Amino acid sequence: MTEENYYRGKNILITGGLGFLGSTLAIKLVDLGARVTLLDGRIPELGANFFNIEPIKGRVEVVIANLSDRAAMDYYVRSQEVVFNIGMHSCHLESMTNPVFDLETNVVPQFHFLEALRYNNPQARVVYIGSRAQYGQALTIPITEDTPPNPKDIYAATKQAVEWYHLRYNKICGLGVTSIRLGNTYGPRHQMRHPKYGVQNYLIRLALDDQELKVFGDGLQKREMIYVDDVVDCLLLLGEKKACLNEVYGIGSAESITFLELVQAIVRACGSGRYVHAPWPEERKTIEVGDVVTDFTKLTRHTGWKPTILLAEGLAKTVDFYRRHREHYW
């Protein structure tokens, strides 16, 4: 648990603030009494959605600006105490079909954003959202923070590089940095228009629409599904605990399930849809990473964090949200 008063009155900046994770975090931070600024580039096809922040409308500052806009960043990073740097795309496939999109969305803006912090607010504490994908086909199971990076696609290579860039800014200007290598996260507020980011969420849409959900191959690869509220609790702890400065963490879930079991649970939670097995499409096979099993004892040791929401409960909440707010996401 985060200290009761740690975030009260603090200036907090969230990049990607209109997206899935950024907005959910913002709602919680406003609840804790923080002064929250949301930066969002509103990059087409990414997750920005004003409906996401409906519960805190008027109680947060919203700024639409690309992180590459150095003059804007110079201004907005000032006097921020904790920065949650979430604003990146997360599409493995797109990074392979269009690497320049990866460059322009995930690489270039991060350089300019870090430079803005360096010259205007090196005292800030920054939580960077890394990716489980950095491990690729994991060289050790379970995955720990010492498992060497082994990215299978451009996206994953970039996420690793930008994590390193963040950590090196500690040497450059004293910036306090923490990286969390996030895996599959699901829950309300994720974009549902296409399957490019967070396929686990899009599967919920397919089931709610009574469509067919495809399971490539036997679907027996192990997955960890983390409910977004658990991730938000984790981020809050990472932005607070001194032990987390200049550290990287993996994160996992309470249950280890197969992809097939996930699909079955989604169909069950929705009461509609059905699944079929299908052969692996070539472009997906080349970036598939096999089993994901993460040892997150370091995270628990440094922060006390543990996952609290089981898949059935998280799916029920998620399905309920989209049933009520379908018109804002479909």
Interface positions with a second copy (CB under 8 A): 96, 99-100, 103, 107-108, 111-112, 114-115, 148-149, 151-154, 157-158, 160-161, 164-165, 168, 171-172, 286-287
Our CB check for a second copy shows the closer of 74 and 115 to be: 115
CB 138 → a second copy: shortest distance, Å? Answer: 13
Our CB check for a second copy shows the closer of 32 and 287 to be: 287
- The residues, ordered by sequence, that sit 6+ positions from 291 with a Cβ below 8 Å of its Cβ are 138, 141, 221, 222
Going by DSSP bridges, is the β-strand pair 247-250/176-182 parallel, antiparallel, or unpaired?
Answer: parallel
- Alpha-carbon radius of gyration of the chain: 19
CB 121 → a second copy: shortest distance, Å? Answer: 16
Our CB check for a second copy shows the closer of 100 and 278 to be: 100
- Of 254, 82, 58, 246, nearest to 166 (Cα)? 246
CB 181 → a second copy: shortest distance, Å? Answer: 15
CB 153 → a second copy: shortest distance, Å? Answer: 6
CB 65 → a second copy: shortest distance, Å? Answer: 18
CB 156 → a second copy: shortest distance, Å? Answer: 8
Q: Give the Cα separation of 196 and 89 in Å (integer).
A: 9
**Whats the size of the chain, residue-wise?**
330
Identity of the residue numbered 241: K
Give yes or no for a contact between 242 and 6, defined as CB atoms under 8 angstroms apart: no
CB 257 → a second copy: shortest distance, Å? Answer: 28
Angle CA(37)–CA(235)–CA(146) in degrees, nearest 5?
135
Residue 2, token pair as written in the block = 């985060």
Our CB check for a second copy shows the closer of 111 and 321 to be: 111
Euclidean distance between the first and final Cα of the chain, in Å? 34
Q: Give the Cα separation of 214 and 266 in Å (integer).
A: 12
Our CB check for a second copy shows the closer of 99 and 217 to be: 99
Phi, psi of 105 (to 5 degrees): -95, -40
Which residues, in sequence order, are bridge partners of residue 143?
294
Which residues, in sequence order, are bridge partners of residue 248?
179
Our CB check for a second copy shows the closer of 211 and 286 to be: 286
Our CB check for a second copy shows the closer of 172 and 278 to be: 172
**DSSP secondary structure letters along 246-288:** TEEEE---SS-EEHHHHHHHHHHHHT--EEEEEPPPHHHHTT-
Our CB check for a second copy shows the closer of 149 and 239 to be: 149
Which residues, in sequence order, are bridge partners of residue 62?
38
CB 161 → a second copy: shortest distance, Å? Answer: 4
